[in-house]
Amino acid sequence: MNQEPMRAETDVLVIGSGAAGMYAAIEAARSGCQVLLADRSLIGRGGATVMAQMTVAVALGSETADHWSYHYSDTLAAGRGLCNEPLAQLLCEEGPECIRAMDDWGVGWARKDGRITQAMAPGHDRPRCVYVDFLNTGPAVSKTLRTAVNKSGGIRKAGELCIVDLLRNNGAIVGAAALHLGSGAPVILYAKATIVATGGLTRLYRRNSASANMGGDGYALALRAGASLVDMEFVQFFPIGHLAPRLIGMDPIMWDPFRYKLGGRLLNNRMEEFTQRYGVAEDGKYVITRDLGSYAILKEVEAGRGSPHGGVYLSFQHCPENALRESFGPVIDRLAANGIDLTKMPIEVAPIAHYHMGGIVADAQMQTELSGLFAAGEAVGGANGANRLSGNAITEALVFGRRAGRTAADYAKRLRTPPDHADNAHTAIALIATDAPTRNFNTAEMLQTLQKTMQDHVGALRSEAKIIAALDSIGRLINELGDTPPGDGNRFDMQRIDWFDLRNMLLVARVVAEAALARTETRGAQQREDYPRLSPDWACSQTVRLRGACIELSGGPRALAETTS
């Protein structure tokens, strides 16, 4: 079904409408630019922001004295030596302003005696995390920003746009080509400046904590357009994702707030605490960092001391019922509806893909290496190094989004003539509007195969043999995918949508696996069973570029040795 392309022009195109994208749109509009805010789902409801359960780290000093430099020190320490320092500094230094702006817009940060409450979280030197009760941080942040977007003049919203490729003209980015899900038509969006705010890549993993639209699209778009990515091996696993019993209507990372407020005990199948075996005695408090927590749980399972579903137990049985009720009121009722009574039973938890430290190379103005292309939020690589400090993700989304909006607006205002041509527009339209017979393959099954491969072989515990097996499997899937999408090309053609998702996901999976294979050490979220120790030679970040179909890695110690010899 061939269709004429739809077309639109704007000053600033923002791809993705989580916190980073919405803040970028608000800021660019405030600078006087026309903005087109595109998302493949509904505006401000998909992505990762809406799923945030509790903590947002920021040196407000509202209850305990604090300064952004202390937050910065904790961020660098958590990053295990790999944080991009200007980006980390920006996050910590401008965090308080953005959190106060959100407060002014009525987000409703939890307060006690008029002061914003700040909770203690693992890896922080003092209570620093603001939140909205009960487990409502993400929905409240999304709703507040949606309202602010609606109040800003100059923002045109466009949901159901699946961005397929960035448009290039003489090396600059001039917008994007998209598949309009609601009609099946190709769309050409010309923009003076384009901001990628598509979030991370958790959908590559079978067990993940974010929305189904977090398939690393922004990384693939940037790579194919000629930009570099950095730190792609560092996928953060959240140690205590919900595993069993089956729980519906709740986010799997919901146990984090419970641990912040009530401590809780992590137990193996002998009902013994075990984290002390891996160097961190918890003593009923929540102190273990995400990288060590995931490692300890997986090692305990490997030693045959796991829970029936392949995780460990998390118990709040020692907490009095009134303490549970006071801390989590309505959530206790939702748990009861799922047959869970925390005073009588532990639940089972296991590591779950949660966040990506890697991403698009950008400077502290959110400018990528390509003219006209900017990045924001989780899509940006480097601020969190090899392991993200809890609470930094929403802060990063707000701060980087605001900065990207301003920088992109400045850039757009300097361009005299709006772009109306792209070197790759015809190729992109032809791909989106492919008139191909339905091929006999199951794209949904391929997605599951990829997710299982990544979970089992490029997950929280890695080895050379596992990663090579994953690359084989990814290679077979790439061959199976072929060069043209299947389906009838009409509206909501699921096979065609899966095909475009797989095209991005398989490229990004290859990049993660190649980067993980090259890094022959254990550091932060990269846990190599065959190289179990941190190597001082590897105190460096790897960057990735695409040359034709080849993935080119640079920045590792061998590359350094080669260039200096």
Q: Contact positions toward other proteins, by CB under 8 A?
A: 6-8, 38, 41-43, 45-47, 50-51, 138-139, 157-161, 180, 182, 187, 211-213, 245-252, 338-339, 438, 442-445, 447-448, 487, 490-495, 498
CB of 179 to other proteins, least distance (A): 11
CA 16 to chain centre: 12
For residue 320, whether the previous peptide bond is cis, meaning omega lies within 30 degrees of 0, is no
- Which is nearer to other proteins, 245 or 482 (by Cβ)? 245
- Which is nearer to other proteins, 158 or 223 (by Cβ)? 158
Question: Distance (Å, rounded) from C-alpha 88 to C-alpha 492?
Answer: 40
Question: For the sheet containing 235-244, what is the strand order?
Answer: 235-244, 347-356, 312-315, 265-267
Most distant CA atoms of the chain, gap in Å: 70
- Which is nearer to other proteins, 1 or 561 (by Cβ)? 1
- Which is nearer to other proteins, 24 or 178 (by Cβ)? 178
Tell me how crowded residue 269 is: count the other CB atoms within 10 A of its CB. 14
Tell me how crowded residue 427 is: count the other CB atoms within 10 A of its CB. 12
Question: Distance (Å, rounded) from C-alpha 226 to C-alpha 223?
Answer: 5
Selection from 386, 388, 338, 382 nearest residue 364 by Cα: 382
Burial class of 73 by CB neighbour count within 10 A (0 to 12, 13 to 18, 19+): middle
CB of 207 to other proteins, least distance (A): 11
- Which is nearer to other proteins, 89 or 137 (by Cβ)? 137
Give the H or E element holding residue 558: helix 557-564
CB of 141 to other proteins, least distance (A): 12
- Which is nearer to other proteins, 92 or 135 (by Cβ)? 135
CB of 224 to other proteins, least distance (A): 23
- Which is nearer to other proteins, 279 or 339 (by Cβ)? 339
List, by residue number, the catalytic residues.
290
CB of 485 to other proteins, least distance (A): 13
CB of 51 to other proteins, least distance (A): 6
> Inter-axis angle of helices 392-414 and 85-104, to 10 degrees?
90
3-state secondary structure labels for all residues of 450-481: HHHHHHHHCCCCECHHHHHHHHHHHHHHHHHH
> Inter-axis angle of helices 85-104 and 68-78, to 10 degrees?
130
Give the residue ranges of DSSP H helices in 178-320. Answer: 217-225, 255-262, 290-300
CB of 297 to other proteins, least distance (A): 21
Can you spell out the DSSP letters for 484-508?
A: S--S--STT-HHHHHHHHHHHHHHH
- Which is nearer to other proteins, 45 or 299 (by Cβ)? 45
Identify the three-state secondary structure at position 327: helix
Instruction: Tell me the backbone φ, ψ of residue 334, rounded to 5 degrees.
Output: -65, -35
CB of 8 to other proteins, least distance (A): 5
